[in-house]
Structures are given as structure tokens and as C-alpha cells.
Amino acid sequence: MYIWQHKKWPSFNWDNTRVIEALAEARSLQGRILGRMEGLGFSVREESVLENLTNDVIKTSKIEGESLNMDEVRSSIAKRLGMNVAGMVNPGRNVEGIVELMLDATQNYKEPLSAKRLFGWHAALFPTGYSGMFPITVGKWRNNEKNDPMQVVSGAWGKQRVHFEAPASEDLKQEMKTFIQWFNSAGMEPVLKSALAHLWFVTLHPFDDGNGRIARAIADMQLARADRTPQRFYSMSAQIEKNKKQYYTILEKTQKGNLTITEWLLWYIDIFTKALQFTEANVGKALSKAGFWEKYKKVEFNSRQIKMLNKLMSGFDGNLTTAKWAKINKSSQDTALRDINELVSKKVLRKESAGSRSTHYTLVL
């Protein structure tokens, strides 16, 4: 029996004592971080927002098995927010769609949710009307009477395992009307409402595809309401992606359970807390980056150098070599070596070892 098949659906309940105790710690940390971020300079906050939004878009897509180019995502967000950042590239249509969805959800968090708005988000995700090679219904609730029930399955053909079965498509219009009215109503603790909205929407599974990404966007929209700011200083999707196996396990367990959702709420609050802790640990990095650019504000750098310096300060994978520099910037090896040598002469980079194959460079902070 699935959760939506219970007679009292959707009258959820939970152990309020356990949930409020966990939430109190998280909300205290949330207030502390928002306070610290407000005390930072505008440029540091702007960079932090850009980094977290970029991370959110990339990770919510990665949860669904789709890998996006970080530079394309960053450029798309910066352009839409009117930020002037170095090394901007032209993003693909798939990137533009998910960025449009996430920014509308978080930047326009005060606007009410509606069926029309959700249809727009869905159309942005699937502008061609296809999910991979398969045609899907876009910008409408799923209408697949012939294929009902809609099931979430895994495994090889003939050996599939059914993880979840969604409500019949003929019930979706009324189900979504109830959900949207609840989401737009007042009176519930905002972080708990984010957790419940996430679970409720993904359980209804109202679209042919994209339900997970839209559920996480709705949850982020509610968290923006909790923060009372469109500036995103933490990424829930990044933490969910790190704990993806747990995510799918707790979802399946909850959706196959009864209307008592205490364990789901506690898991969500724990992920929320981890997202905040990660941000708190990275405030120092943001300050370090701001101090770096303040120190070198009178030094001229080309766009490739600015791009790579930002990458190095944001967390670079492995050692920096001329080959990696050339690949990331789509430049020649000679150009990469010339760019790097200029930074070494300016004492921005340090050469760490000799030899044509073992030479790499580190940032001087």
C-alpha cells in the first residue's frame, strides 16, 4: 500500500517533539550563517550566491544522471542575474532550461505557485518535447491512461523492481489543486514545509519526467521563503547528491509507509543541517578569495587567468598543469605556459616541481 492510497491522505503526521528538537539546532545555525553573510562585502556575497546557485543546478541534474558543464551553468546564471564575471561562455539549451527553472523558483520566491508556473518550469526542462530519445507530454500533467500506473522502476528488462507507483493520471488535476492551495497557504514552520512539499510533490509525480528536479526547486523556493531572501548561501541538492543512496532509500520507505513521516522529516533536517555546515566551513574561503582580489586589484590579468584563479580558489581537482590549463581554456599549450609564467613572475602562482611531465603549480595565498 502506497502512502497516497491511505484514506486520510494527505493528512500527514509526525513526532513533533523529535522533529522540533532537530529543527531548533538547524534553525540556530541558519540564523548564524545568514547573519555572517550579511556582514560580508557585496562582492563576497555575490560570488557566494553565484557559486551556490551553480552548485545547486549542477547537483540537482547529477542526481538524475545528467552531467552539466560548470562554466556554462555559471555563465547562464551570471548573465541572468546581471553579474559581470570573467570567462563567460555560451550555455546550451539544456543548461538554460534548468537555470531558468531554478532562478524563477528562488529569485521570485514571493510569487505564488500555480499550475501555469509549474507547466512553464516543465517546458523549460524539455524544450524539444523529448526526454532523451522518447517523446513526453510537456507543460501538462501526465495523461497516460494507456500506461497507467506510472511506476518508478530499476533493473534490467524482465527483472525490473518497482520502487513506487504514482496516483492515476485522472486524479492529478484535483491532487495538484490541493497541493498548490496548501503550498500557497500560511501557517506552517517554513523548513518543515519545504520537506513536506518535496515529499508530497514527488509522490504525486505529476509529469512524465523531471519530477525530482521540480520537487527540489519547489523545496528550495520554500527555503528562500524561510530565509526571506533570494540570495542562496547553501545548496540542498549538493548534500542530497552526496547522500543519493540514502535519499532514494528514505523516499521509497516513506512512500510505501503510512502517513506518519517523522523519519523523512528528520532525514531532511539532517541534510539541511549538513548544507548549512558546509557553507559555514566555506565562509573562510569566500573571505580568502575576496582578500586575494583586493590584494591584486591593481594587477592586470587576462580573462583566462581570472577564470583559472577563481577555479583554484573554489577548489581545483588535482594539480594545475599546463595541459589542464590548455584543456579548460581551449587554448594551445604555448598559450597556457605563457599565461602561467606571467602569474609565476607576478608571484601569484608557485612552480612546485621540475621536469616536463611532473611540473605543476599552486596558488600563492
Q: What is the CATH number of the domain that holds 264?
A: 1.10.3290.10
| The domain boundary residue, chosen from 257, 282, 307 | 282
DSSP structural state of residue 134: E
pLDDT of residue 202 exceeding 60, the answer is yes
Q: Whole-structure pTM over 0.85, yes or no?
A: no
* Residue 265 contacts residue 257 (beta carbons within 8 Å): no
| The domain boundary residue, chosen from 223, 248, 282 | 282
Question: Structural domain tally of the chain?
Answer: 2
Q: How many CA atoms lie within 13 A of 250 on its CB side?
A: 20
| The domain boundary residue, chosen from 282, 317, 332 | 282
My answer on whether 193 and 313 are in the same domain is no
Q: What is the mean pLDDT of the chain?
A: 90
Q: What is the CATH number of the domain that holds 306?
A: 1.10.10.10
My answer on whether 270 and 324 are in the same domain is no
Residue 185: what are its φ and ψ, rounded to 5°? -80, 165
My answer on whether 272 and 350 are in the same domain is no
My answer on whether 265 and 240 are in the same domain is yes
In a domain, 288, yes or no: no
In a domain, 264, yes or no: yes
**Residue 73 is part of which domain span?**
3-282
Q: What is the pLDDT averaged over residues 183-206?
A: 95
My answer on whether 198 and 333 are in the same domain is no
My answer on whether 189 and 130 are in the same domain is yes
My answer on whether 278 and 187 are in the same domain is yes
In a domain, 215, yes or no: yes
My answer on whether 136 and 272 are in the same domain is yes
In a domain, 289, yes or no: no
Would you state the pLDDT for residue 88?
81
Would you state the pLDDT for residue 84?
81
My answer on whether 143 and 191 are in the same domain is yes
Distances (CA, A) of 153 to 63, 144, 157, 166, 292: 16, 17, 10, 12, 49
pLDDT category, 364, cuts 50, 70, 90? confident
My answer on whether 117 and 195 are in the same domain is yes
In a domain, 57, yes or no: yes
In a domain, 291, yes or no: no
pLDDT category, 121, cuts 50, 70, 90? very high
> Could you report the per-residue pLDDT of 243-302, keeping only the tens digit for each?
999 999 999 999 999 999 999 999 999 999 999 998 887 776 767 777 788 788 889 999
Would you state the pLDDT for residue 24?
93
pLDDT category, 357, cuts 50, 70, 90? low
- Residue 14: left (phi > 0), alpha (psi -120 to 50), or beta? beta
Q: Which residue has the higher pLDDT, 248 or 87?
A: 248
Would you state the pLDDT for residue 356?
52
In the chain, what percentage of residues exceed pLDDT 70?
A: 96
Q: Quick one: which of 247, 295, 303, 364 has its CA closest to 89?
A: 303
pLDDT category, 51, cuts 50, 70, 90? confident
My answer on whether 338 and 226 are in the same domain is no
My answer on whether 278 and 341 are in the same domain is no
